Chains A and B, each alone.
Chain A
């Protein structure tokens, strides 16, 4: 699965957690979840749970702590998918 495919998938995952659909549509690696997408910090944990389900992976607490923008979220997802395969 390419970075672009995961980025597109992430837009679906993030959809229910942001009111700013314009910022979501133009999301790139640098897009910060809290600052740019105005996502409530408490919801980051829900986003991780939804991503785990979508990609059939487990994101441990240490890896989850690294996630704050789309780019490092994709990094973690790709790493976990690789570990699994």
Chain B
């Protein structure tokens, strides 16, 4: 056991790219995955745009047996299967190898179980036809449905956990996987998260008046983190998955190593101070970032890039302030910072895992992806950090240390530190 944890595989279903090559192309070139949804107009939603992956459900036949595929209805689980199986194959493993991988576990999270399954159950039960539901609904109704499909497909036999902490879910899943390997409980962990935004989930967010509503005619401009014209976030769907691995285990099987997980932290501001159900206690955020750096044994000055949570709400300014306090860096000394949400929107539970795939790709290919839609930075933000801290064009750069954070409803924070892999 090396005590070092590395990333050896990735899979992604993102609004601006399904599969790692398409996603890499999109984030290098600042391609938006936000689309106008005509149905949202019919439903009288204020916000009528959403991040929707270009996902062909029938492609799951490439991964699943005919029998398993036949009864699978839900996009939530479909996204998770695609991302997780791609990550597993990318790490040099096979599907259906008939083995139980006792050394490999899984932490995969989501917010809401499959709503397509739920809707089917509600409509058939209410019309007194529950007998037509068949045998496959419960497995898709379970919060652990995605994890159950993934672990059965890949034959994972170590600890299997479904986590949920709103928008911190994905980062927490990666952190938990890291910790299990670091502490010797598993050699490998398949980690990630998924989210499917249907009309009902979207409607509930829309009702909170926290979604962007002024860019329905120009969807690709709608998600504007840190912009003066940011008017709320844009929900998105998708999934991200990574294979984390003990370094020695990875080296012994000649795995390709993409990056290293140096450490991380998760906590809660307990909805005290500036915190509430829907916004973080600044003190908690600062603690979380500081603890993550301490756990990873790095100094604030070592940070080359911050991959923020930065959703395009009024919380962006507070987040930049929290980073500035935690890192004791401001003005020209503030680290380069970007928000993938400018291209894909806020994928809620899936945000952390998709954004972490983005971080690993930036480390592998040594670039900083652009913040799109930031032609008009919020003056309050560039008062804290120089405008140059928020690149609007792709920068090719020697990237070593990248810090990633996500903050979720319920005042839950998660922060991770990644680095280039060095022998």
Instruction: Give me the interface of A with B, judged by CB distance under 8 Å.
Output: 16-19, 40, 42-46, 49
B residues in contact with A19, CB < 8 Å: 65-67
Q: Which of A16, A43, A49 contacts B66, CB < 8 Å?
A: A16
Residue pair B134, A46 in contact (C-beta under 8 Å): yes
B residues in contact with A45, CB < 8 Å: 134-135
5 more CB-based (< 8 A) A-B contacts, given A17-B67, A18-B67, A19-B67: A16-B67, A19-B66, A40-B67, A46-B134, A46-B135
Residue pair A46, B71 in contact (C-beta under 8 Å): yes
Shortest distance between the CB of A21 and any CB in chain B (Å): 9
Give complex CA distance A18, B70 in Å. 11
Give complex CA distance A17, B71 in Å. 9
Instruction: Give me the interface of B with A, judged by CB distance under 8 Å.
Output: 65-67, 70-71, 131-132, 134-136
24 examples of A-B residue contacts, CB within 8 angstroms: A16-B66, A16-B67, A16-B70, A17-B67, A17-B70, A18-B67, A19-B65, A19-B66, A19-B67, A40-B67, A42-B135, A43-B67, A43-B71, A43-B135, A44-B135, A45-B134, A45-B135, A46-B71, A46-B134, A46-B135, A46-B136, A49-B131, A49-B132, A49-B134
Give complex CA distance A49, B136 in Å. 12
A residues in contact with B67, CB < 8 Å: 16-19, 40, 43
Give complex CA distance A42, B132 in Å. 14
Give complex CA distance A23, B57 in Å. 29
B residues in contact with A44, CB < 8 Å: 135
Shortest distance between the CB of A78 and any CB in chain B (Å): 21
Shortest distance between the CB of A20 and any CB in chain B (Å): 10
B residues in contact with A17, CB < 8 Å: 67, 70
A residues in contact with B71, CB < 8 Å: 43, 46
Give complex CA distance A46, B68 in Å. 13
A42's nearest neighbour on chain B, judged by CB, is B135
B69's nearest neighbour on chain A, judged by CB, is A16
B131's nearest neighbour on chain A, judged by CB, is A49
Give complex CA distance A49, B71 in Å. 12
A residues in contact with B65, CB < 8 Å: 19
Give complex CA distance A44, B132 in Å. 13
Shortest distance between the CB of A74 and any CB in chain B (Å): 21
Shortest distance between the CB of B96 and any CB in chain A (Å): 11
Give complex CA distance A16, B132 in Å. 17
B residues in contact with A42, CB < 8 Å: 135
Shortest distance between the CB of B406 and any CB in chain A (Å): 37
B residues in contact with A43, CB < 8 Å: 67, 71, 135
Which 6 A-B residue pairings sit nearest by Cβ, starting from the closest? A16-B70, A42-B135, A46-B134, A45-B135, A46-B135, A49-B134
Shortest distance between the CB of B44 and any CB in chain A (Å): 36
B66's nearest neighbour on chain A, judged by CB, is A16
